[in-house]
Amino acid sequence: VTPCSVSSHQSLLLSVQQWLITTSEEDSVVKFKTKPKVKILTEINDDAGVAYFKLIKINKHKNTEIGVLEVDLRGEEEYFVNSVHIMTTYRNNGLGKRLYRTALKKFGQLKTHYFDASVDAQRVWRSMSKRYKSSTEFFEGVLTLYYKPK
């Protein structure tokens, strides 16, 4: 090994270490003492057949999108939740449930292919099914929530 290559390896190692530190800081979940002020914007794209529920953090100077829930509005997949994403920092603060509740209120029902959902999403669906009426199509693995409190 030449001295030049050792130096470049050390430089690369430092870059990777810095990236790992930065990434782990960005990926950490924060429990807020006071929940951030948020609003939910609904956008329906009739051409694409989807509805987007965007979770917006309200800031003094510039509002920031911190999450989105996408619902299919066409055919057999109508009212199926296609995807949900909350920025990692804001997870486990009830904001995902707010997105689900808003969409559930708007459409009266939401569906998921339960076993295709992430572990975090399954936890939210289980929690929501305690509060709202639900039905299960066991062999299809479909869980439907209805906007009817138990």
pLDDT along the chain (150 residues), means of 10: 48 45 48 81 95 95 95 92 94 92 97 90 93 91 92
3-state secondary structure 12-31: HHHHHHHHHHHHHHHCCCCC
Angle at Cα 48 formed by Cα 46 and Cα 52, nearest 5°? 75
Q: Enter the pTM of the model.
A: 0.76
pLDDT recorded at residue 1: 45
Query: What is residue 75's predicted lDDT score, i.e. its pLDDT?
Result: 85
